[in-house]
């Protein structure tokens, strides 16, 4: 039964991606924030379909910590779920992601319309500099920037190396960092097809001030909070 439900979800995801990809390309002339709001309609549809087919919902705590003005969000990265769900729960946003995702037909083209900060991870330090440079423009344009500091998806219960790129961006833009923890990987596994019904826990942490601090100090504080919270919400 889980296989059938997961298959139905995947088919719905694919079928709805095409028209929304075309919509994303059609609204390219519009301002970025307006484009983000329109494109996020697909995320709302997918989250509804995920609930219907796979019985996966979510609960969010700590949204009061999110500032009214754009900031840098440092989040745990366990599955594809958060790349969809964050469009529903957070204000207009953009992400730091690997450039290869933009090469995927239709999906990548729609992603490009949201003006993500696409980086070549093989460039090392230069990639971090790209994040800081382009991220400031996105923040000044009215969008929150979501960074997955571990760089890639990690299995539920595992921990990757936290990179300071997001903190460097926050320092350059003069905005706070907001850490986010969630246990999506327990229900929508990394590279996993079968999904398990349940309620994904998302916790938004207190703002981390950046003034007068180093990027690695900020990153270490966000990491400590995220990993401690992950232990609390683990199923």
What CA–CA distance (Å, rounded) separates 87 from 11? 21
Domain that holds residue 52: 2-233
What DSSP string describes 170-213? Answer: HHHHT--EEEEEE-GGGTS-TT------EEEEEEEPPPB--TT-
* Closest CA relative to residue 202, chosen from 185, 189, 215, 217: 185
How many whole angstroms from its chain centre is CA 89?
A: 11
Burial of residue 180, with CB atoms counted within 10 A of its CB: 0-12 exposed, 13-18 middle, 19 or more buried = buried
The pTM assigned to this predicted structure is: 0.91
Quote the DSSP letter at residue 62: -
The CATH number of residue 93's host domain is: 3.40.1130
What is the maximal distance between C-alpha atoms in the chain? 54
Question: What's the rounded Cα separation, in Å, for the pair 153 and 174?
Answer: 28
User: What is the tally of structural domains in the chain?
Assistant: 1
Torsion angle, alpha carbons of 81, 52, 191, 22, to 10: -70
Beta-carbon contacts of 23 under 8 Å, excluding residues fewer than 6 positions away, are 38, 39, 110
The order of strands in the sheet holding 144-147 is 56-61, 198-204, 177-182, 72-75, 144-147, 93-98, 117-119
Walk along the chain (235 residues) and give the pLDDT tens digit of each residue.
Answer: 899 999 999 999 989 888 888 887 787 788 877 877 877 888 999 999 999 999 999 999 999 999 999 999 999 999 999 999 999 999 989 988 877 777 776 667 677 777 888 877 666 667 777 788 889 999 999 999 999 999 889 999 999 999 998 999 999 999 999 999 999 999 999 988 999 999 999 999 999 999 999 999 999 999 999 999 999 998 7
- For the record, the structure tokens of 63 come out as 């949204």
């Amino acid at each position: 039964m889980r296989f059938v439900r997961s298959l139905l979800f995947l088919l719905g995801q694919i079928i709805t991606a095409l028209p929304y990809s075309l919509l994303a390309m059609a609204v390219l002339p519009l301002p970025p924030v307006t484009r983000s709001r329109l494109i996020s309609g697909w995320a709302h549809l997918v989250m509804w379909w995920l609930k219907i087919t796979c019985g996966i919902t979510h609960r969010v705590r700590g949204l009061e910590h999110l500032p009214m003005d754009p900031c840098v969000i440092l989040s745990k990265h366990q599955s594809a779920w958060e790349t969809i769900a964050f469009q529903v729960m957070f204000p207009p946003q953009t992400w730091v992601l690997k450039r290869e995702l933009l090469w995927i037909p239709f999906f990548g083209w729609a992603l490009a319309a949201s003006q993500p900060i696409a980086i070549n991870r093989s460039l090392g330090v230069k990639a971090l500099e790209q994040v800081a440079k382009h991220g400031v423009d996105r923040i000044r344009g009215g969008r929150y920037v979501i960074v997955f500091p571990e760089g890639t998806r990690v299995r539920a219960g595992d921990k990757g190396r936290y990179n300071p790129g997001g903190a460097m961006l926050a320092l350059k833009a003069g905005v706070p960092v907001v850490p986010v923890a969630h246990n999506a990987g327990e229900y929508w596994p990394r590279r996993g097809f079968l999904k398990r019904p349940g309620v994904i826990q998302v916790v938004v942490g207190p703002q981390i001030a950046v003034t007068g601090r180093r990027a690695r100090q900020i990153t270490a504080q966000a990491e400590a909070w995220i990993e401690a919270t992950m232990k609390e919400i683990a199923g």
